[in-house]
Structure 1
C-alpha cells in the first residue's frame, strides 16, 4: 500500500461515484482518476444481451483500467502526488462473477490476477450504497442512453454483490479504512452540509493514517 494518499470511491452503477470524486479532487486539489465507461464499444450491446457480450465488455474495462492505474502509479503516486479515483480495479471481479459464463470466468480471473497483482492499492475507500429506487432514479436523471436498457433485477443483484464485496474487503484489508455513505440519507450533490460531513470523515481518517505513520 502506497504511503501517498490514494483514495478510491466505489459503489453500484449510478450511485454518484464520479460526482463525489470530482468534488473531493477539487476540495483537496489532487488529481482525479476517472474510469472509462462510455468509450467502451461493447457496453450498449452488453446491456441488451449480457450473455453474448459480457466477455468482450469486461476485457475492455480490465485492460483500460490496468493502463490507467499503470500511468497513475508512474506519473503521480511515485512522485508523491495524491490521487482520488472514482473506481477501484477490483470492481472488475464483481462484474465478471455476475456476468461471465462458467467457461469464461476462470480465463478472465487468471488474466485479472496477472495484470493487477502488482498494481497500487488505495489506502482509503469510500463506499456509496443506496436502495434500488434511489439508484434507478439517479440513473434516470443522468440520462446515459447506454444505461436505459439496464434491468432493475441486474442492478439489485449488483448492489448486493457490492455489499458482499465490501464486507469481504474490510476483513481482508483491516488496515485500509472504509467510509460507508448511505445514498438514501445523504445527497452530497444538492446539499453542501452532506458534502462537508463526508469531507470531515475523510479528514478524520487521513489524520489517523498520518498519526499511525509517525509512530
Structure 2
C-alpha cells in the first residue's frame, strides 16, 4: 500500500461518491481523481441495449481507469502526494459480473487481472450505501441524460453486488481501513454536521494508517 493517504470512495450509482470526494479533497488538500463516466461512448447504447453493448462498455471503463491509476501512481503516489478518488478500479468486476454473458465475463476477468495486479491499493476505502429510494432520487436530481434509462431493478441488483464485493474486498485486504457510511443517515451535501462527522472519521483512519505527521 502507498505510504501516503490514498483514499477511494465506492458505492452504487447515485449514492454521492463524487460529492463526498470533492468535499474531502478540498478539506484535506489531496489531489482529486474523478471517475470517467460521461466520456464513455458506449454507455448510452448500453442502457438501451445491454446485451449488445455490455462488453464494449466495460472494456472502455477498464482501459480508461487503468490509465488513470497508472498516471496517479507515477505522478502523485510515487512522489508522496496524497490522492482521493471517487472510485476504485475493482468496481469493474461488479458491473462486468452483472452485465456480461459468461463467456465474455471469463475473458474480461483475465484481462482485468493482468491490468490491475500491480496497481496501487488504497489504504482507506470509504463505502457509501443507501436505500434504493435515496439513490433513485439523487440520480433524478443530477439529471444525467445517460442515466435516464436505469431501471430500479438493475440499481437494486448493483447495490446488493456492492455489499458482497465490499465484504470480500475487506477480507482480502485486512490491513486496509474501510469506513462504511449510510447515505440515508448522513446527508453530507446539505448538512455540515454530517460532513464534519465523516471528516473526523477519515482523519482518525489517516492517523492510524499513515501517522499524524501527514
C-alpha distance in structure 2 between counterparts of 1:102 and 1:51, whole Å = 12
Equivalenced residues, count:
213
- Are 1:182 and 2:182 matched, yes or no? yes
1:61-100: per-residue Cα shift (whole Å, max 9, x none)? 0000000000000100001000000000000000000000
Taking structure 2 as the reference length, what is the TM-score of the superposition? 0.97
Partner of 1:80: 80
Correspondence list, 1:127-166, <5 A: 127-166=127-166
Partner of 1:23: 23
Residue 210 of structure 1: how far off its partner (Å): 3.3
Correspondence list, 1:93-104, <5 A: 93-104=93-104
C-alpha distance in structure 1 between counterparts of 2:112 and 2:140, whole Å = 32
Taking structure 1 as the reference length, what is the TM-score of the superposition? 0.97
CA RMSD of aligned residues (A): 1.2
C-alpha distance in structure 2 between counterparts of 1:134 and 1:5, whole Å = 30
C-alpha distance in structure 1 between counterparts of 2:176 and 2:209, whole Å = 9
SS of 2:25's partner is helix
Residue 4 of structure 1: how far off its partner (Å): 1.3
SS of 1:205's partner is helix
C-alpha distance in structure 2 between counterparts of 1:24 and 1:4, whole Å = 15
Partner of 1:204: 204
Runs of 4+ deviating beyond 6 Å: none
Residue 169 of structure 1: how far off its partner (Å): 1.2
Partner of 1:124: 124
5+ residue gaps in structure 1?
none
- Are 1:54 and 2:73 matched, yes or no? no
C-alpha distance in structure 2 between counterparts of 1:6 and 1:158, whole Å = 25
Distance 1:178 1:78, change over 3 A: same
Residue 102 of structure 1: how far off its partner (Å): 1.1
5+ residue gaps in structure 2?
none
C-alpha distance in structure 2 between counterparts of 1:94 and 1:180, whole Å = 18
